[in-house]
A and B are shown apart, each in its own frame.
Chain A
Amino acid sequence: NAGVTQTPKFQVLKTGQSMTLQCAQDMNHNSMYWYRQDPGMGLRLIYYSASEGTTDKGEVPNGYNVSRLNKREFSLRLESAAPSQTSVYFCASTPRGGGTDTQYFGPGTRLTVL
């Protein structure tokens, strides 16, 4: 099993450009997450999907949209990128979505917005 995969690994955008970060998991997990990681701030939740067809805002959703395309895939879209969105983005999944679950993380996407 590949686990959680993310594409692309690296991306450079100009301010105002749009892009979609892709995430897929092959573990038949119900819940999926998008986080951003910034130095000294740990991981902050952007959006969450408890199950196929549902999405909810996390701590820092402004400037982002998500789509839970099916059980396997959860994409994150930046409609108009800003320098403040320069970060490392991690996708994660959990079997059920409850608080006892272990989160399984992808390798990350390093995004730079100029």
Chain B
Amino acid sequence: AQSVTQLDSQVPVFEEAPVELRCNYSSSVSVYLFWYVQYPNQGLQLLLKYLSGSTLVKGINGFEAEFNKSQTSFHLRKPSVHISDTAEYFCAVHLTTDSWGKFQFGAGTQVVVTP
């Protein structure tokens, strides 16, 4: 079985500063990787996903993530955050060997952007 660890439960950051959210996973087989964002009182929406190919993935709203197979990580970055990036961010994995949508989510990282 796979597991997903988001190493920071909360990340405070100043507006226009960079941010990195860390995600590590454990799995004996290859995985698909996702980052979702949840704005206050809303459902989750996809930021980006890694399926195969280039290990640097670009998503919406200026976010990008890098897949590192040797370190089993998929960290999310943004070079300059806005107040509107205040939200909770979830990393998720899916085994490539699973035939149906058995997604495993991390516990989430709350990002608070202050002026």
Contact = CB atoms under 8 A, between A and B. Distances in A.
Interface of A: 4, 31, 33, 35, 40-45, 48, 50, 56, 58, 90, 92, 94, 97-103, 105-108
Contacts, number: 70
Interface of B: 4, 6, 9, 32, 34, 36, 41-46, 49, 51, 90, 94-96, 98-103, 105-108
Contact of A107 (B43, B49, B106): B43
A98 B99 contact: yes
A103 B100 contact: no
A108 B34 CA distance: 20
B100 A48 contact: yes
A75 B106 CA distance: 25
Contact of A103 (B6, B9, B42, B46): B46
Given A40-B9, A41-B107, A42-B105, A50 B43 contact: no
Nearest to A58: B102
A103 B51 contact: no
30 contacts: A31-B101, A35-B105, A40-B107, A42-B6, A42-B90, A42-B107, A43-B44, A43-B105, A45-B102, A45-B103, A48-B102, A50-B100, A50-B101, A56-B100, A98-B99, A99-B95, A99-B101, A99-B102, A100-B49, A100-B51, A101-B101, A102-B46, A103-B36, A103-B101, A103-B103, A105-B43, A105-B45, A106-B43, A108-B41, A108-B43
